[in-house]
A and B are shown apart, each in its own frame.
Chain A
Amino acid sequence: MTTQLTSAPPTAAPGKARRRPEDSHTARGTRPGFLWALPATLFFALFALAPLVMVAVLSFMSWNGLGSPQFVGTDNWERILDDPVMINSIWLTLLLTALGVVIQTPLSIVLGVWAAGHQRNRAVLSAVYFVPLLLSATAVSVLWRALLDPNFGIPARMTWLFGDGNLFGEQATAIGVLAFVSTWQFTPFHTLIYQGAARAIPPVLYQAAAIDGAGRYRQFFHITLPQLRNSVITSMILMIVGGLTTFETVLILTQGGPGTDTTISAYYMYQKAFKGFDFGAGSAIALCLVVAATVVSLIVVRVSGYDKMRSDMEGVS
């Protein structure tokens, strides 16, 4: 095979399509085979799936991390499915995830499309917008806890809005704060995805639309949004999965409180396993989360046809 190192798509490279053993068996065109995916899959299986299998086994055992684990059948599962805090945590998790998707999706699309412009001020601003992503969860929570302190932070200066500032003492406001801080922290990442995707939209499309007299907003809804479809799905899956599994924000901002009012499932798992050292129950909750997140992302993928959506929208196959 010739190694021709040009970055532009080649215009002419004579010769027959050679079939290699790992290549696809389809008649049309040469496609990569499974071998291409093999190294990553093996690596992943060893360092992520193997531990997960052990977690699945642990969910049927009683273990505090010290002695030998004891097999207890479905005991852990019965316990967590019977636990009001667990049931409540599922609703909270779904609520926070939904809030995250609803708030962050439009926001990051708008910011991403805006940042895709090539103006210098936008480059500077989007560098600033990006910074929250660089901060560790600890730093983010320390900052917001300080800013939202009822006596020394913003609420003290805006009592008309915040009242006595007891944001972390009521369930509704505590959830609001969690949704807001996650938005603050993760929007930059999704913005980055949309920014990249928006830049990849062929300018020709806009030029054509402009000739047709389409205004900025019509262009946005008729060209930009449809072209971002793949990215919307990618980013939504990430938001859903992220929402289901985030716990650091809760850990440092509310510790699941007041009481258990913001104890979401992932945090509950952490509490069970690492505060209570009940690794059996913790593993069962963890497994629920993995399954839930996988099912949801598969549904999104299936409904959107994302997995079928190879580069063949025009029907190469």
Chain B
Amino acid sequence: MRTRMPRVLACGATLALAASLAACGNGSGGGSSDDGRIHVLVYGDASNKVEKQMVDTFNKTSKVKAVLDTIPGADYQQKLQTIINTPQAPDIFFNWGGGSIQPFVKAGLLMPLDDFVKKDPNLDDKFLPSVYNSAVVEGKPYGIPMRGTQPVLLFSNKEVLDKAGVKQPATWDQLLAAVKQLKSEGVTPIALGGGDQWPTLMWFEYVYDRVAGPELFQKALSGDKDAWASADSKKALGMLKELVDTGAFGKNYDSVKYTNGASPALVAQGKAGFELMGSWYYAQQQQDAKDFAAKGLGYSTFPTIPGGKGDPSDVVGNTNNFYSVLKKTKHPEAVAEFLKLMYSDEFVKAQMAIGNLPTTTNTPKFLDTSASPEYSRFQYDLVAKAKSFQLSWDQAFPPSAMTPIHQTVQQFFNGQLDTDGFIKAMQALPTE
């Protein structure tokens, strides 16, 4: 049985309101998508500069004008979900690909972009496939990459490592040995912002990929509950448990946060040896500890796990952010034109200028213009060569699974859940 009760009720209740307030409106404001413009809705933060520039560039030539609306960061997804099925919905909106758009696709709200791609194959060919794929839902593309890629890397304090006679580890065993050595030197081997929960998750993502390959998680994501109970899954959990139990993260990691700068400060000040974090870490350190970022910050991909099924070139992290298009947009041609800007030279240059690393095929031309060319090139090659670029689990699953995932990884690290408890909790996650 289908009902439309809430809206019916809302209409009833608002009739009186509308009548009494009809005369009082102080200007109608923007917001509705039928005002002859395309509304582009993005997550509000420092990167908006480029999005604004793209909108301006677009408006110079286009008859249909675009307007940029920003939603202050923290509650972006909440607000988006509230408005997306209403007249206030935007035409184009920012998202994380994967699970973040899956419910919208299921509800039939989004426009598959294959028609756009047919007319302009560049809307596919100009982007790195490993990135482009994370906005493909049920075989159809739904998003165009629109910011920078953010693979997760293993960062370190070179000075601390040198002092302890430790090298950036290439294998898991080297990592374990480094942990022991650093511990005996009295530093926290690995800084972890466990208070934010998602940094803990990054360890699971890499160890699972290295041990079992990307297929295990893909299976789990498609609803195969047995994947979590497989031998590979248990092996990965055993290795993580061992790492935690040797004291790799110290004792108070759940009270440390990344988002208030505490865990990066541990590394920058030599109180910790390593930290596993997204590539934005470099920029964070440049802001907070300039000298360290220039001289002392080491980075590498995640160590390999000998005997594991995962390819050593695999990466995990945020592949990119994406623009998706609402089916009911009144200006599909204009929208397609706007999306084409996302592989333009101007776009790439502007993103590089604010420290983002775009994932278009013309990016290498501009790598030397980056503030830190060596670091940009390392990342770009990593992503371009990756056999698989696994989108973070909490983004790959639908939004309803995000909180349970965060809780579960935290509970496994602090011992509230054992291997079986973890498996059970992951099996209970909603996959659609």
Direct contact between A and B judged by beta carbons closer than 8 A: yes
Contact check, A150 vs B252: say whether CB atoms are below 8 A apart. Answer: yes
A149 to B257, CA, bound (A): 8
From B4, B103, B400, A275 is in contact (CB under 8 Å) with: B400
Contact check, A148 vs B3: say whether CB atoms are below 8 A apart. Answer: no
Residues of A within 8 A of B109 (CB): 66
Contact check, B3 vs A71: say whether CB atoms are below 8 A apart. Answer: yes
CB distance from A281 to the nearest CB of B (A): 10
1/0 per residue, CB under 8 A from B, across A46-75: the answer is 100010011001100101111111110000
Q: Of B164-172, B258-266, B294-302, B333-341, which binds chain A?
A: B258-266
A126 to B41, CA, bound (A): 44
User: Is A102 interfacial (CB 8 A cutoff)?
Assistant: no
Residues of A within 8 A of B403 (CB): 256, 271, 275-276
1/0 per residue, CB under 8 A from A, across B145-184: the answer is 0000000000000000000000000000000000000000
Known interface pairs A66-B104, A277-B103; A166-B5 also in contact (CB < 8 Å): no
A69 to B251, CA, bound (A): 46
Residues of B within 8 A of A58 (CB): 6
- Within 376-411 of B, Cβ neighbours of A (below 8 Å) are at 399-403, 406-407, 410-411
1/0 per residue, CB under 8 A from B, across A245-288: the answer is 00000000011111110000000000100111110000000000
Contact check, A69 vs B4: say whether CB atoms are below 8 A apart. Answer: yes
A255 to B109, CA, bound (A): 31
Residue of B10, B255, B416 with highest tally of chain A CB at under 10 A: B255
A61 to B2, CA, bound (A): 10
CB distance from A194 to the nearest CB of B (A): 34
User: Is A164 interfacial (CB 8 A cutoff)?
Assistant: yes
Known interface pairs A149-B262, A271-B403, A275-B402; A166-B252 also in contact (CB < 8 Å): yes
Residues of B within 8 A of A271 (CB): 403
Contact check, A258 vs B254: say whether CB atoms are below 8 A apart. Answer: yes
Residues of B within 8 A of A46 (CB): 13, 16-17
User: Is A205 interfacial (CB 8 A cutoff)?
Assistant: no
Closest A residue by C-beta to B3: A71
- Within 253-312 of B, Cβ neighbours of A (below 8 Å) are at 253-257, 260, 262, 265-266, 271
A276 to B196, CA, bound (A): 18
Residues of B within 8 A of A274 (CB): 75, 78, 81
1/0 per residue, CB under 8 A from A, across B222-265: the answer is 00000000000000000000000000001111111100101001
User: Is B197 interfacial (CB 8 A cutoff)?
Assistant: yes
CB distance from B256 to the nearest CB of A (A): 6
Contact check, B400 vs A151: say whether CB atoms are below 8 A apart. Answer: no
A260 to B16, CA, bound (A): 43
Size band of the interface chain A makes with B: 35 or more
User: Is A169 interfacial (CB 8 A cutoff)?
Assistant: yes
User: Is A217 interfacial (CB 8 A cutoff)?
Assistant: no
User: Is B46 interfacial (CB 8 A cutoff)?
Assistant: no
Contact check, B1 vs A166: say whether CB atoms are below 8 A apart. Answer: no
CB distance from B154 to the nearest CB of A (A): 21
User: Is B220 interfacial (CB 8 A cutoff)?
Assistant: no
User: Is B24 interfacial (CB 8 A cutoff)?
Assistant: no
From B3, B197, B252, B399, A68 is in contact (CB under 8 Å) with: B3
From B3, B196, B254, B265, A70 is in contact (CB under 8 Å) with: B3
Contact check, B5 vs A69: say whether CB atoms are below 8 A apart. Answer: yes
User: Is B414 interfacial (CB 8 A cutoff)?
Assistant: yes
Closest B residue by C-beta to A260: B407
From A57, A66, A70, A255, B406 is in contact (CB under 8 Å) with: A255
Residues of A within 8 A of B78 (CB): 274
User: Is B332 interfacial (CB 8 A cutoff)?
Assistant: no
Closest B residue by C-beta to A274: B78
Known interface pairs A150-B252, A168-B195, A255-B197; A275-B399 also in contact (CB < 8 Å): yes
- Within 66-109 of A, Cβ neighbours of B (below 8 Å) are at 66-71
Contact check, B6 vs A69: say whether CB atoms are below 8 A apart. Answer: yes
Residues of B within 8 A of A164 (CB): 250-252
User: Is A221 interfacial (CB 8 A cutoff)?
Assistant: no
Residues of A within 8 A of B266 (CB): 151
Residues of B within 8 A of A152 (CB): 262, 265
User: Is B194 interfacial (CB 8 A cutoff)?
Assistant: yes
Residues of A within 8 A of B5 (CB): 54, 57, 61, 69, 71
From A67, A70, A258, A278, B410 is in contact (CB under 8 Å) with: A258
Residues of A within 8 A of B255 (CB): 148-150, 165-169
A235 to B400, CA, bound (A): 37
A71 to B255, CA, bound (A): 43
Closest B residue by C-beta to A254: B195
User: Is A133 interfacial (CB 8 A cutoff)?
Assistant: no
Residues of B within 8 A of A257 (CB): 195, 197, 254, 406-407, 410
User: Which residues of B are interface residues toward A (Cβ below 8 A)?
Assistant: 1-6, 9-10, 13, 16-17, 75, 78, 81-82, 84-85, 103-104, 106-107, 109, 194-197, 250-257, 260, 262, 265-266, 271, 399-403, 406-407, 410-411, 414, 416-417
Report, nearest first, the 5 A-B pairs whose CB atoms are least far apart.
Answer: A169-B254, A276-B400, A166-B252, A66-B107, A259-B411
24 contacts between A and B (CB under 8 A): A53-B9, A54-B5, A57-B9, A61-B3, A69-B3, A69-B4, A71-B5, A151-B265, A152-B265, A165-B252, A166-B255, A167-B255, A168-B254, A169-B194, A169-B414, A255-B196, A255-B406, A256-B403, A257-B406, A257-B410, A258-B254, A259-B411, A275-B400, A277-B399
